[in-house]
Structure 1
Amino acid sequence: MGIATDIAEDWHAALAALAWQVDAGVDEVLGDAPLNRYDLPAEAPRLPVVAAQPAPARPSPPVAAAPAPEVDPVRLAQAAATAAQSLDDLREALLAFNQCELKKGARNTVFADGNPGARVLILGEAPGRDEDLEGRPFVGRAGQLLDRMFAAIGLSRRSPDARAALYITNVMPWRPPGNRDPEPGEIAMMRPFVERHIELVDPQVIVVMGNTPLIALTGNRGILRARGTWTQALNRPMLPMTHPAYLLRNPSAKREAWADLLSLKARLRG
């Protein structure tokens, strides 16, 4: 009985002490030893491991289109000229040929003038202002001098008689800006048309007037050295002469031009 009584008294005493503490505002139980909350734990808490997410796939850059194959204007000119079966076809081929920048600034395509049955084909350089406006070669001051020069040996672009006629064309069918000399690339571009033009007319003699036609048919320049000396071009006799525009600027050179005309007259008689 004594032990049971002591336990009961201790329990009631503890309960009474707890009730007193609750009334005093105690709401949690503290340990026997003080706790410093600023002390770091022995091991930092481990953060949960999150599986790495794969980066979103970047869209593939657009595939650049393959560059367009470079167009070779000389090959296009060769194909167009070769396909021409007549002078009308060749004229249409030139009208449709858009690879030469000179065409964009020209008023007209200057094709030819004279009698296509002529024995003599005169090949000039390029149209000037008057030729560009009228659409025919050699119609300005230089053209008027040319007519007088060849009339002196009995030849004319107006003659219906093939033996006394002239056929006149240029290397360049379009006027270069400011009447500048045609560039090598422009001459090369027009050479297939020039060659086909001569083949279709089939003259007995070619007369080249100035450096541009000399370059186009022989690859050489230096008309003052070449003039008056017969040579061959496209399997035909060719006579280089100075351009009438040069004669207008240098009247003293007309004597040499007259000698060239007499040489042409003698060749035609032979």
Structure 2
Amino acid sequence: MCLENWDEREYYERLPFYWRSPAQNDVIMGGGVGRDMTFVLTELLNKHKKSKEILTIDEDDITCEAMLITDTIVGEEDRMKEVAKDAFLEELEKDELEAEHVRDDVFVGNRRGLRLAEMKAMLDAHESKFSFLQGHVKELEDNDKALTARVSTLSLAVYEYKQIRRRFISSFKVTKLPEAVEQSDHDLVREGNLVAHGGDAVVDALLYEGIGGRRDIYAFQQLYGLHPADVVKISHHETLNLLNLHAGIRADTRRTGSEEFYQRFAAFILAFQVSSQDTDYLLGNSVNTTRTAYEAVLDCQKYKE
């Protein structure tokens, strides 16, 4: 389109436009503008002497956005379009066209159109910030879940440690203060011995964490069948009890575990891992591979005759 051959009415009849809603009679004219149109708008700006900023056109500046907002009637679609075109032409005669940078883009239009461009830029910025905050909230939720699981694990460790310390005091009474011994002291010593000499998958798994933690993971897996990092994620009591049962039998120095027990325990570990360590295998009356393997371990003979 050349400036010398430009027909104003024909030009505006070809412009894309739309209106916001029947409730708001604002009509918005907008769209991408080609290089020739940019020169036309620049001429209009020079004519009206109201722009805040003169556009500089170089070889890379091919398009900008032109936005014009005015009022029109609400009625039949064809009538609205016809009146809107006249309203656009009338708006241009009010000497209110301006050019403005909004963030990294250039916009040309009347003040109401530029305000819409500014609002859109603000909305884009808020949406970007909202997306960032959503990601941050998700990260915080994941951290909260991890910390909750950690607290649960540490709570179990504290309980087991208390049993050991209770055994220490009650053992002192049994050996040094026999006249003060109560039945509860014998019970505490027996329970403490089970904790100290039996398996405790959760607490033992914590021994492999952090600087200075144990590195003999193979020994742990021989006892519990799983990696320490996997065990600390488990809070399912039935699963932990089965791991502890295996560790106790495996470490028993007086008796030897049966081959059947070890084979069935290995089958349970395999099924548990295949299920991505899903601990819901005992819920309801459902039949699944992990549950079948779990019950098979409990039902078999644990020690050799």
Q: Would you say same fold, with TM above 0.5?
A: no
Q: Bigger relative contact order, structure 1 or 2, given CA contacts below 8 A and separation 6+?
A: 1
From the CA coordinates, give the structure whose radius of gyration is larger.
1
Length-normalised TM-score, structure 1: 0.21
Length-normalised TM-score, structure 2: 0.19
Higher helix share goes to which structure? 2
